[in-house]
Copies of this chain bind each other. A is one copy, B any other.
Amino acid sequence: MRVYRGPSDLEDILNDSRIPHRLPDLEDIVEAQKRIAGVATRTPLVESPALSKRLRKEVYLKLECFQPIRVFKIRGAYNKISQVPDKNILAVSSGNHGLAVSYVGKLLGKKTTVILPEDAVQEKVNMVLEYGAEIVRYRGDVSKGWELARQMVKSTGATFVHPFNDPEVIAGQGTCGLEITEQLPDFDSVIIPVGGGGIISGIAIAVKSRKPSAKIFGVEPQAIPKLAAAMKAGRIVSLPVHSTAADGLIPPAVGDLTLEACVKHVSGVFTVTEEEIIAAMKLLIRDAHIFPEPSAAVSVAALLAGRETNGLGKRIVLVITGGNVSLNLLARNLST
């Protein structure tokens, strides 16, 4: 079976020649913030007194689940696609990136195609369809999806919108970090879920530029700890994809840009178990009164179960990345 080995594997379909392949800086993120105003929401940043008490920290939640499409990915997708001259765009996604691309594509009058796995969360598939994108499904490992993307980009010439390893996507996600620095004058650390590393990279660049003393931490499911592996090895490591409730965090590898940002800015990476992810989701529902998807709950999972968290400091921002939760999963966990 072909294994996806990071973005170098995809060089031939990164066909957007407008932009140099380098990390964005603070200025790029400030530009992105102007661009996405009125499309992406300046989401609330609120303390959760119940979580603060329970976790014996000052716990603030950055509620990206309150974006119009209930996930942060609208930020990067709009910053990218609003600058793409091509009418045809194509994305490969486990769900949320595809949803963002189809939503933004509809706003901007693009012809959008989204490649999704057969086992994508049904609610996410429905939303992609609602916004008028054409869907192509594949069976098997995510590398199959990338292979399909390569073939389709070559045959159609559509502009490929990478889910994370793209300077304009990273700059867009970074606007979430800018907002945190604007909304909370003082904080010690930010904890961010890691899929391919797009949002942690963007937030890290924004936060470290504005507030160098703050620490950035990543969290990934034990099923696919690709950022921890890559930071340890000092290079992109492609892992086998094991099943996880955190369906948004399944890329088998980070990208070269996101690895560069994480090596530079990230103080540590937590890995969390499936049980901790579900427990964190329940905690957020019952104590913080929001409905996160499992991928978004990993930020809280990192603080559970007596893990050593002194390095995080006292005042912690948890990025709750999205709320597109499977209703079956939710029903199962509300009734227990």
Looking at the assembled complex, report how far the CB atom of A283 sits from the nearest CB atom of chain B, in whole angstroms.
Answer: 13
* The one of B63, B132, B289 that contacts A123, using a Cβ cutoff of 8 Å: B289
Q: How many copies does the complex hold?
A: 2
* B-side contacts of A132, CB under 8 Å: 49
Q: Give the nearest-CB partner of A124 in chain B.
A: B289
> Is A44 within 8 A of B44, CB to CB?
no
**Distance of A241 Cα from B69 Cα, bound (Å):** 37
* B-side contacts of A232, CB under 8 Å: none
A210 at the interface (CB under 8 A from B): no
**Distance of A68 Cα from B42 Cα, bound (Å):** 11
Interface string of A293-336 (1 = CB under 8 A from B): 00000000000000000000000000000001001001100110
Number of interface residues of A (CB under 8 A): 33
* The one of B41, B70, B327 that contacts A285, using a Cβ cutoff of 8 Å: B327
**Distance of A67 Cα from B49 Cα, bound (Å):** 17
> Is B330 within 8 A of A289, CB to CB?
no
**Distance of A291 Cα from B132 Cα, bound (Å):** 23
* B-side contacts of A108, CB under 8 Å: none
A4 at the interface (CB under 8 A from B): no
> Is A67 within 8 A of B44, CB to CB?
yes
* B-side contacts of A286, CB under 8 Å: 327
**Distance of A131 Cα from B324 Cα, bound (Å):** 28
> Is B131 within 8 A of A49, CB to CB?
yes
Q: A48-B130, A50-B130, A70-B290 are in contact. List 10 more A-B contacts (CB 8 A).
A: A38-B183, A41-B41, A44-B67, A46-B69, A50-B126, A63-B68, A70-B289, A286-B327, A327-B334, A331-B331
The list of the 4 closest CB pairs from A to B, nearest first, reads A66-B66, A44-B68, A331-B334, A49-B130
